[in-house]
Amino acid sequence: MKFTVVTILPELVEPALAAGVVGRAREAGTIAVGTVNPRDFTSDRHRTVDDTPYGGGPGMVMKAEPLLAAIAAAVGVEPAHRILLTPAGRPLTQARVRELAAAHRHLVLVCGRYEGVDERVIEHAIDEELSIGDYVLSGGELGALVVIDAVARLVPGVLGEPASADEESHSAGLLEYPQYTRPPKLVLAVAGDESVPDASLSGVVREVPPVLFGGNHAAIASWRRRQSIERTARRRPDMFARFAPAKADRKLVTPLHARTHLALVHHPVHDRTGAVVTTSLTNFDIHDLARSSLTYGLAAYHIVTPITSQREKAEHIARLWLDDTPARPPPSSGSRANALALVRTADSIETVVAELTAQYGRPPRIVATSARTTSFPGAARCTPEELRAAATVAGLGEERPEPLLLLLGTGWGLADDRIPNVAYLLSPIEGTADWNHLSVRSAAAILLDRLFGRASG
Ligand code: ADE
């Protein structure tokens, strides 16, 4: 694999390419790296490579002619893939790195400087624009080094053990597990500890996790997998949302949807004046939320109302379907009867909590929803992605992980000061208008899709 960096600062990139994995690979001839300087393709005394932007504005723009000539020289006669490093490019990912390593034998990495590059260069001499992150550097040189390092590691013969590239963060959609080496017990010295009279402060002992000793390879693999999953969920909920547990993960990761209970709350809720009221049951809600609950694999759907006749009505309607068309056993994907079989009724949220506590042997983690960001001031704010990550981590490796109770308010929303122990408030669904009055059925479907929909994981 050959890399050619087009840069007006070869002195910035060359030292970095002489050391480490890349330096050794160059020495061994596994990769070749060179630089081409656009200043060598100027004809004026000052070797000018930039000029002021048409239309005004701050900074300077890299001129087209020297850059086009430098890119042509860098490409040479063999085909090459030309990449411009720019904060306006597509974010570089490990997947793209893998493709670059597999698809090309020569990468020409063009480093922008100043305010940018004359757009005509990009139109005529660039195949792809890449960014190494959402921040602005003074030029593309560091980005070019990042691309070279990431791609070179995947070139056969560059790494001693190819597996070490595979196992690392991002390759498998998870961050890497923590690593340890000798000594098994590390005594941390505290800076200036002679001045600390309390001996207990002079050093802290940090031990290597015992599972890593003793050579039980299955136990080590399982510990590492768990660490990777946990780290990814905590640090990168966005990445975790795309993580699909493998078969072997099933013991470790219990699917969150299967321990999630939806509660449609008719009391205590607000009316339009802010008073706490009891709303009446809506027939549509029985069916539609039951169908959404089955579609997203929830454990149950609880209709909460203190009015006995309304609970009886809900149970009656659900039973009608069950009597007509019995719920189909797995592996059938279900029927409307399977959806209505998820319906349970309760006179209060407290009753649902008590039932789940009895069923799971521990109380549920309660999650509220609201159209207002100011509701439930004591609850942690979270997006569906963050909730999914946090609740999955809480259940990792647990034989009986805690259930999740998702509260949906009717009327003008849940009466937050009457509902204790709410751990999380999900961020409201925002449309584009100032008016924000989705039906509870629509809101539930959107939230369930954001939490559990396949598109998000
Ligand atoms: N040049 C300046 N900032 C950059 C970034 N974030 N990625 C790639 N090239 C850049």
State in Å: Cα 129 to ligand 1 middle: 10
The pLDDT tens digits along the chain (457 residues) read: 999 999 999 999 999 999 999 999 999 999 999 999 999 999 999 999 999 999 999 999 999 999 999 999 999 999 999 999 999 999 999 999 999 999 999 999 999 988 899 999 999 999 999 999 999 999 999 999 999 999 999 999 999 876 566 656 676 789 999 999 999 999 877 666 565 555 555 678 899 999 999 899 999 999 999 999 999 999 999 999 888 888 888 888 889 999 999 999 999 999 999 999 999 999 999 999 999 999 999 999 999 999 999 999 999 999 988 877 766 776 566 678 899 999 999 999 999 999 999 999 999 999 999 999 999 999 999 999 999 999 999 999 888 999 999 999 999 999 999 999 999 999 999 999 988 889 999 999 999 999 999 864 4
- Please tell me if the CB atom of residue 143 comes closer than 6 angstroms to any atom of ligand 1: yes
CA of 397 to the centre of ligand 1 (A): 41
Q: Is residue 182 part of a domain?
A: no
Could you tell me the distance, in angstroms and rounded to a whole number, from the CA of residue 346 to the centre of ligand 1? 56
Residue nearest to atom 4 of ligand 1 (CA): 87
In a shared domain, residues 271 and 414 = yes
With respect to residue 178, please indicate whether it lies within any of the assigned structural domains: no
Residue 51: its H or E element = strand 50-51
- Whether residue 107 sits in one domain with residue 31: yes
183, part of any domain: no
Query: Which residue range(s) make up the domain with 230?
Result: 205-252
Co-location of 329 and 418 in the same domain: yes
Q: Which atom of ligand 1 is nearest to the CA of 112?
A: 1
Measured distance CA(34)–CA(6) in Å, rounded: 9
- Asked if residue 283 is part of any domain, the answer here is yes
Among 230, 252, 274, give the residue marking a domain's end: 252
Per the rule left: phi > 0, alpha: psi between -120 and 50, beta: everything else, 116 is left
| Residue among 86, 90, 129, 148 whose CB has most ligand 1 atoms within 8 A, to mutate | 86
Compute the distance from residue 143 Cα to the ligand 1 centre, in Å: 6
We report the CATH number of the domain holding residue 48 as 3.40.1280.10
Q: Is residue 283 domain-shared with residue 245, that is, in the same domain?
A: no
360 in the same domain as 218: no
Query: In sequence order, which ranges of 141-236 are alpha helices (DSSP H)?
Result: 141-152, 162-167, 217-235
Asked if residue 444 is part of any domain, the answer here is yes
User: Which of the listed residues 104, 137, 166 is the one where a domain comes to its end?
Assistant: 166
Q: Which atom of ligand 1 is nearest to the CA of 130?
A: 8
Say how many Å lie between the CA of residue 168 and the centre of ligand 1.
24
On whether residue 200 sits in a domain, the answer given is no
Quick one: 416 and 287 in the same domain? yes
In the reported structure, the alpha carbon of residue 201 is separated from the centroid of ligand 1 by a whole-number distance in angstroms of 44
**Same-domain pairing of 287 and 228:** no
Instruction: Kindly state the DSSP code that residue 136 receives in the 8-state scheme.
Output: -
- Statement to judge: residues 360 and 242 lie in one domain: no
* Closest atom of ligand 1 to CA, residue 135: 6
Instruction: Give the Cα separation of 355 and 124 in Å (integer).
Output: 67
Phi then psi for residue 391, to 5 deg, are -70, -30
Residue 146 and residue 59 share a domain: yes
With CA atoms as reference, report the closest residue to 345 among 376, 375, 387, 317.
317
Q: Which is the closest atom of ligand 1 to the Cα of 138?
A: 2
Same-domain check for residues 231 and 135: no
Is residue 445 in a domain?
A: yes
* CB of 304 closer than 6 angstroms to any ligand 1 atom: no
Query: 87 alpha carbon to ligand 1 midpoint, in Å?
Result: 4
Q: Are 434 and 363 in contact (CB under 8 A)?
A: no
CB 62 less than 6 A from any atom of ligand 1? no
397, β-bridge pairs: none
Last residue of a domain, one of 215, 233, 252: 252
User: Which residues lie below 8 Å from residue 215, measured CB to CB, with a gap of 6+?
Assistant: none
Residues 220, 135, single domain; the answer is no
> How many domains does the chain contain in total?
3
C-alpha distances in angstroms, 178 versus 166, 223, 229, 343, 457? Answer: 15, 10, 11, 44, 24
In a domain, 89, yes or no: yes
Query: Does residue 333 share a domain with residue 231?
Result: no
